[in-house]
DNA sequence: GCGACAG
DNA sequence: ATCTTGTCGC
Protein backbone atom coordinates (compact mmCIF):
# COMPACT_ATOMS: atom_id res chain seq x y z
CA UNK A 1 0.00 0.00 0.00
CA UNK A 2 1.03 3.60 -0.60
CA UNK A 3 1.68 5.84 2.38
CA UNK A 4 1.68 9.63 2.50
CA UNK A 5 4.82 11.13 3.96
CA UNK A 6 3.43 14.15 5.75
CA UNK A 7 5.77 14.47 8.74
CA UNK A 8 8.76 13.11 10.64
CA UNK A 9 8.45 10.42 13.29
CA UNK A 10 11.54 11.09 15.39
CA UNK A 11 9.90 13.89 17.29
CA UNK A 12 9.48 15.14 20.84
CA UNK A 13 6.07 14.91 22.51
CA UNK A 14 5.69 18.65 22.05
CA UNK A 15 6.35 18.36 18.31
CA UNK A 16 4.00 15.39 18.11
CA UNK A 17 1.13 17.50 19.45
CA UNK A 18 1.91 20.16 16.85
CA UNK A 19 1.77 17.53 14.11
CA UNK A 20 -1.58 16.33 15.43
CA UNK A 21 -2.98 19.87 15.33
CA UNK A 22 -1.83 20.09 11.73
CA UNK A 23 -3.14 16.74 10.54
CA UNK A 24 -6.45 17.29 12.29
CA UNK A 25 -7.53 19.61 9.50
CA UNK A 26 -7.35 16.75 7.00
CA UNK A 27 -9.82 14.43 8.73
CA UNK A 28 -12.83 13.56 6.58
CA UNK A 29 -15.97 12.46 8.42
CA UNK A 30 -18.01 11.80 5.29
CA UNK A 31 -18.53 8.28 4.01
CA UNK A 32 -16.01 7.23 1.39
CA UNK A 33 -16.58 3.52 1.81
CA UNK A 34 -18.52 2.04 -1.10
CA UNK A 35 -18.93 -1.70 -1.21
CA UNK A 36 -16.85 -3.30 1.50
CA UNK A 37 -15.10 -6.52 0.54
CA UNK A 38 -11.93 -6.33 2.62
CA UNK A 39 -11.49 -5.23 6.25
CA UNK A 40 -8.09 -4.88 7.91
CA UNK A 41 -7.09 -5.04 11.58
CA UNK A 42 -3.94 -3.47 13.02
CA UNK A 43 -2.33 -3.96 16.43
CA UNK A 44 1.06 -3.95 18.17
CA UNK A 45 2.89 -5.82 20.94
CA UNK A 46 5.92 -4.77 22.96
CA UNK A 47 8.94 -6.53 24.36
CA UNK A 48 11.88 -5.67 26.58
CA UNK A 49 14.88 -7.94 26.10
CA UNK A 50 18.11 -8.15 28.06
CA UNK A 51 20.78 -7.06 25.66
CA UNK A 52 23.94 -9.17 25.58
CA UNK A 53 27.00 -7.15 26.50
CA UNK A 54 30.58 -7.41 27.69
CA UNK A 55 31.68 -6.47 31.16
CA UNK A 56 34.96 -6.34 33.02
CA UNK A 57 35.47 -8.64 36.01
CA UNK A 58 37.68 -7.14 38.62
CA UNK A 59 40.58 -9.35 39.75
CA UNK A 60 40.60 -10.54 43.35
CA UNK A 61 44.36 -10.47 43.49
CA UNK A 62 46.59 -7.98 41.77
CA UNK A 63 48.32 -10.92 40.05
CA UNK A 64 45.37 -11.95 37.84
CA UNK A 65 44.34 -9.88 34.89
CA UNK A 66 41.01 -8.17 34.41
CA UNK A 67 38.75 -10.48 32.43
CA UNK A 68 36.03 -9.66 29.99
CA UNK A 69 32.94 -11.85 30.11
CA UNK A 70 29.58 -11.92 28.43
CA UNK A 71 26.80 -10.96 30.76
CA UNK A 72 23.18 -9.95 30.64
CA UNK A 73 21.05 -7.21 32.04
CA UNK A 74 23.26 -4.20 31.58
CA UNK A 75 21.14 -2.86 28.76
CA UNK A 76 17.54 -3.27 27.73
CA UNK A 77 16.33 -3.42 24.18
CA UNK A 78 12.78 -2.26 23.67
CA UNK A 79 11.02 -3.48 20.55
CA UNK A 80 7.62 -2.87 19.04
CA UNK A 81 6.06 -5.60 16.91
CA UNK A 82 3.32 -4.66 14.47
CA UNK A 83 0.73 -6.86 12.80
CA UNK A 84 -1.79 -6.12 10.07
CA UNK A 85 -4.27 -8.64 8.74
CA UNK A 86 -6.83 -8.42 5.96
CA UNK A 87 -10.14 -10.26 6.19
CA UNK A 88 -12.90 -10.76 3.65
CA UNK A 89 -16.16 -9.00 4.52
CA UNK A 90 -18.58 -10.08 5.75
CA UNK A 91 -17.31 -13.67 5.66
CA UNK A 92 -14.43 -12.90 8.01
CA UNK A 93 -11.90 -15.15 6.37
CA UNK A 94 -8.20 -14.37 6.43
CA UNK A 95 -6.87 -13.02 3.12
CA UNK A 96 -3.44 -11.65 4.01
CA UNK A 97 -1.20 -10.94 7.00
CA UNK A 98 2.02 -8.98 7.45
CA UNK A 99 4.25 -8.17 10.43
CA UNK A 100 7.18 -5.89 11.21
CA UNK A 101 9.46 -5.15 14.15
CA UNK A 102 11.29 -1.92 15.02
CA UNK A 103 13.19 -0.46 17.98
CA UNK A 104 10.77 1.39 20.25
CA UNK A 105 11.59 5.10 20.21
CA UNK A 106 8.64 6.89 21.73
CA UNK A 107 7.23 6.65 25.29
CA UNK A 108 3.63 5.86 26.11
CA UNK A 109 1.80 9.13 26.61
CA UNK A 110 -1.99 9.14 26.64
CA UNK A 111 -3.03 11.06 23.55
CA UNK A 112 0.17 10.34 21.62
CA UNK A 113 -0.23 6.62 21.02
CA UNK A 114 0.19 6.86 17.26
CA UNK A 115 3.78 8.06 17.67
CA UNK A 116 4.57 4.89 19.62
CA UNK A 117 2.80 2.34 17.42
CA UNK A 118 2.32 4.18 14.14
CA UNK A 119 5.72 3.64 12.52
CA UNK A 120 5.71 -0.13 12.80
CA UNK A 121 2.09 -0.40 11.67
CA UNK A 122 2.84 1.65 8.57
CA UNK A 123 5.74 -0.67 7.85
CA UNK A 124 3.23 -3.54 7.90
CA UNK A 125 0.83 -1.67 5.61
CA UNK A 126 3.71 -1.06 3.17
CA UNK A 127 3.90 -4.82 2.70
CA UNK A 128 0.15 -5.36 2.33
CA UNK A 129 -0.89 -6.08 -1.27
CA UNK A 130 -4.66 -6.49 -0.80
CA UNK A 131 -5.60 -2.90 -0.02
CA UNK A 132 -8.55 -3.04 2.44
CA UNK A 133 -11.72 -0.98 2.04
CA UNK A 134 -11.69 -0.07 5.72
CA UNK A 135 -9.21 -0.48 8.60
CA UNK A 136 -9.88 -1.20 12.29
CA UNK A 137 -7.39 0.16 14.82
CA UNK A 138 -6.92 -0.78 18.46
CA UNK A 139 -7.32 2.74 19.79
CA UNK A 140 -9.31 5.91 19.36
CA UNK A 141 -10.30 7.77 16.21
CA UNK A 142 -11.58 11.31 16.79
CA UNK A 143 -12.68 10.37 20.33
CA UNK A 144 -9.51 12.10 21.46
CA UNK A 145 -8.62 15.48 23.05
CA UNK A 146 -7.33 16.78 19.70
CA UNK A 147 -9.51 14.54 17.51
CA UNK A 148 -6.38 12.72 16.42
CA UNK A 149 -6.32 9.19 17.77
CA UNK A 150 -4.30 6.54 15.97
CA UNK A 151 -7.17 5.61 13.63
CA UNK A 152 -7.52 9.19 12.42
CA UNK A 153 -3.77 9.64 12.10
CA UNK A 154 -3.02 6.48 10.14
CA UNK A 155 -6.26 6.71 8.17
CA UNK A 156 -5.03 10.03 6.79
CA UNK A 157 -1.54 8.74 5.98
CA UNK A 158 -2.99 5.66 4.27
CA UNK A 159 -5.82 7.62 2.68
CA UNK A 160 -8.27 4.88 3.68
CA UNK A 161 -11.48 4.70 5.69
CA UNK A 162 -10.43 3.95 9.27
CA UNK A 163 -12.26 3.14 12.51
CA UNK A 164 -11.06 3.64 16.06
CA UNK A 165 -11.95 0.68 18.24
CA UNK A 166 -10.63 1.20 21.78
CA UNK A 167 -10.97 -1.20 24.70
CA UNK A 168 -11.01 1.56 27.28
CA UNK A 169 -11.85 5.18 27.88
CA UNK A 170 -9.69 8.14 26.91
CA UNK A 171 -11.87 11.19 26.34
CA UNK A 172 -15.45 12.42 26.21
CA UNK A 173 -18.75 12.33 28.07
CA UNK A 174 -21.27 9.53 27.86
CA UNK A 175 -23.69 7.19 29.62
CA UNK A 176 -23.24 3.44 29.83
CA UNK A 177 -25.16 1.55 27.12
CA UNK A 178 -27.83 -1.03 28.00
CA UNK A 179 -26.71 -4.59 28.60
CA UNK A 180 -27.31 -6.27 25.24
CA UNK A 181 -25.30 -6.76 22.08
CA UNK A 182 -25.56 -3.76 19.78
CA UNK A 183 -26.64 -1.31 22.48
CA UNK A 184 -24.74 1.99 22.40
CA UNK A 185 -24.66 5.52 23.74
CA UNK A 186 -23.17 8.49 21.94
CA UNK A 187 -20.00 10.06 23.29
CA UNK A 188 -19.67 13.86 23.07
CA UNK A 189 -16.93 16.34 23.81
CA UNK A 190 -17.21 19.22 26.25
CA UNK A 191 -19.07 21.30 23.65
CA UNK A 192 -21.65 18.61 23.08
CA UNK A 193 -20.19 17.67 19.71
CA UNK A 194 -20.64 14.04 18.66
CA UNK A 195 -17.28 12.23 18.66
CA UNK A 196 -18.15 8.55 18.87
CA UNK A 197 -20.06 5.81 20.63
CA UNK A 198 -19.71 3.53 23.62
CA UNK A 199 -20.76 0.22 22.11
CA UNK A 200 -21.75 -3.07 23.74
CA UNK A 201 -20.48 -5.84 21.46
CA UNK A 202 -21.63 -8.62 23.81
CA UNK A 203 -24.01 -9.03 26.70
CA UNK A 204 -22.41 -8.96 30.16
CA UNK A 205 -19.15 -7.58 28.79
CA UNK A 206 -17.50 -4.20 29.16
CA UNK A 207 -18.42 -1.96 26.19
CA UNK A 208 -15.85 -0.66 23.71
CA UNK A 209 -15.32 2.84 22.31
CA UNK A 210 -15.92 3.28 18.59
CA UNK A 211 -15.17 6.45 16.68
CA UNK A 212 -14.55 7.66 13.17
CA UNK A 213 -10.95 7.69 12.14
CA UNK A 214 -11.17 8.92 8.59
CA UNK A 215 -13.45 8.82 5.56
CA UNK A 216 -16.32 7.11 7.35
CA UNK A 217 -19.44 8.06 9.30
CA UNK A 218 -20.04 7.00 12.88
CA UNK A 219 -23.14 4.95 12.05
CA UNK A 220 -21.30 3.10 9.30
CA UNK A 221 -18.38 2.50 11.67
CA UNK A 222 -20.71 0.98 14.26
CA UNK A 223 -22.32 -1.24 11.61
CA UNK A 224 -18.95 -2.53 10.46
CA UNK A 225 -17.65 -3.17 13.96
CA UNK A 226 -20.77 -5.15 14.82
CA UNK A 227 -20.63 -7.06 11.54
CA UNK A 228 -17.02 -8.04 12.29
CA UNK A 229 -17.81 -9.09 15.85
CA UNK A 230 -18.74 -12.73 16.26
CA UNK A 231 -18.36 -14.42 19.59
CA UNK A 232 -15.96 -12.12 21.38
CA UNK A 233 -15.77 -8.56 22.63
CA UNK A 234 -13.47 -7.37 19.86
CA UNK A 235 -14.01 -7.60 16.07
CA UNK A 236 -12.25 -10.58 14.48
CA UNK A 237 -9.62 -8.65 12.51
CA UNK A 238 -8.43 -6.95 15.71
CA UNK A 239 -8.35 -10.19 17.66
CA UNK A 240 -6.31 -11.79 14.93
CA UNK A 241 -3.91 -8.86 14.60
CA UNK A 242 -3.42 -8.88 18.36
CA UNK A 243 -2.56 -12.57 18.33
CA UNK A 244 -0.25 -12.16 15.33
CA UNK A 245 1.66 -9.33 16.99
CA UNK A 246 2.02 -11.47 20.13
CA UNK A 247 3.35 -14.42 18.10
CA UNK A 248 5.84 -12.15 16.32
CA UNK A 249 7.05 -10.96 19.69
CA UNK A 250 7.49 -14.50 20.99
CA UNK A 251 9.54 -15.45 17.93
CA UNK A 252 11.93 -12.62 18.66
CA UNK A 253 12.27 -13.64 22.28
CA UNK A 254 12.97 -17.23 21.32
CA UNK A 255 15.54 -16.40 18.64
CA UNK A 256 17.28 -14.07 21.00
C1' DG B 1 -3.11 22.56 42.07
C1' DC B 2 -5.98 18.11 41.27
C1' DG B 3 -7.83 14.37 38.61
C1' DA B 4 -7.90 11.71 34.11
C1' DC B 5 -5.24 9.26 31.14
C1' DA B 6 -6.04 4.67 24.10
C1' DG B 7 -1.76 0.94 24.46
C1' DA C 1 1.19 -2.61 27.12
C1' DT C 2 3.41 -6.01 30.73
C1' DC C 3 3.97 -8.47 35.25
C1' DT C 4 1.09 -12.99 37.07
C1' DT C 5 -2.65 -17.39 40.24
C1' DG C 6 -6.57 -18.51 40.89
C1' DT C 7 -11.26 -18.67 39.75
C1' DC C 8 -16.14 -18.36 37.88
C1' DG C 9 -18.90 -20.17 34.12
C1' DC C 10 -20.39 -22.38 29.60
Give the domain CATH number at A131.
3.30.2170.10
The answer to whether A80 CB is within 7 Å of strand C is no
The answer to whether A175 CB is within 7 Å of strand B is no
Task: Give the CA A159 to C1' C9 distance in Å.
Answer: 44
Please check the confidence at residue A61 and state whether its pLDDT lies above 90. no
**Which structural domain, as residue segments, surrounds residue A38?**
13-47+80-255
Task: Give the CA A72 to C1' C4 distance in Å.
Answer: 23
Calculate mean pLDDT across residues A108-128.
98
**With bands split at pLDDT 50, 70 and 90, how would you rate the model's confidence at A196?**
very high
**With bands split at pLDDT 50, 70 and 90, how would you rate the model's confidence at A219?**
very high
Please check the confidence at residue A66 and state whether its pLDDT lies above 70. no
Considering only A63-67, A91-95, A154-158, which range has the smallest mean pLDDT?
A63-67
Bridge partners (DSSP) of residue A94 are A87
In a domain, A195, yes or no: yes
Calculate mean pLDDT across residues A179-206.
96
pLDDT in tens, A90-117: 999 999 999 999 999 999 999 999 999 9
* A171 in Cβ contact with A152 (< 8 Å): no
What percentage of chain A has pLDDT greater than the value 90?
Answer: 84
Q: Which pLDDT does position A48 carry in this prediction?
A: 86
In a domain, A187, yes or no: yes
Task: Give the CA A171 to C1' B1 distance in Å.
Answer: 21
The count of structural domains within chain A is 1
Average pLDDT across chain A, whole number: 92
Strand C nucleotides below 7 A of a protein CB?
A: 1-2
Amino acid sequence: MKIKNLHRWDVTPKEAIEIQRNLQKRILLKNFSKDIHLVAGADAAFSTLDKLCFANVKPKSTLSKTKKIICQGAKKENLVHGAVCVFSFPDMELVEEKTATLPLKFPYIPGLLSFREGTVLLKCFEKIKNAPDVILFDGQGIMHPRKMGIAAHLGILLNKPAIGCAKSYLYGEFNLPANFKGAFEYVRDKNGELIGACLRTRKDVKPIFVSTGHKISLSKAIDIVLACTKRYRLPEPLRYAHRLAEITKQRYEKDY
